[in-house]
Amino acid sequence: MTNAMTAALAVTALILASAAFGWLAIGRYRRLAREQVALADRLSAFGLAQFAALAANRAEDQSEQIVREDIERALSKSVVTPEDRELLVALSTRMPEIGHAIGTKTMPSLMVVPTRGSVMVLPSTKTVTIYAISRQDLETYPARRRHEWRRWL
């Protein structure tokens, strides 16, 4: 076999390996898209079914949306099933994705500043966005996720 033939075979093998890797990545993204849309359907159905219970125990003017404290209160109850706990945690962590911003809050924090041979810890503040989930957010969430992942479905 000549050097030219060896080089051609090496390039062909490289192209085939690259194509195979590309097909594997496409398969992973399609699977991820299906999982994300299925989770959106589950979270939407769960959130709508539990909306009144989650938003309870607050003033009437605020009961039209779920805030993080509502989810934390539900998680602290001992009667929560493992599946409900999983969905509540998912609602909490995906609150910015599912819901909408309702304000900001400035919180104290500490800033670490390196100096020669040591560090200084200085008081600071940070601004945190506060999110809430409304019934409309839950109703439209699966469609928004389908639209986001439409190229992979």
Q: If we measure between CA atoms, which residue out of 134, 147, 145 comes closest to residue 47?
A: 134
How many Cβ atoms from other residues are within 10 Å of residue 72's Cβ?
A: 11
Cβ contacts of 110-114, under 8 Å, gap ≥ 24: none
Residue 66 and residue 86 in contact, taking contact as beta carbons nearer than 8 Å:
no
Q: How many residues does the chain have?
A: 153
Convert the pLDDT of each residue in 24-38 to its tens digit.
Answer: 667 788 888 899 999
Q: Which residue has the higher pLDDT, 58 or 105?
A: 105
Cα–Cα distances (Å) from 19 to 33, 125, 131, in that order, read 21, 49, 42
Q: Where are the domains of the chain?
A: 3-148
- pLDDT number for residue 19: 58
How many Cβ atoms from other residues are within 10 Å of residue 7's Cβ?
A: 10
Mean pLDDT of 136-147: 96
C-alpha span between 102 and 80 (Å, rounded): 28
Phi-psi region of 2 (alpha: psi -120 to 50; beta: other; left: phi over 0): beta
Convert the pLDDT of each residue in 58-93 to its tens digit.
Answer: 655 556 899 999 999 999 987 889 999 999 999 999
Does the predicted model carry a pTM greater than 0.95?
no
Average pLDDT across the chain, whole number? 85
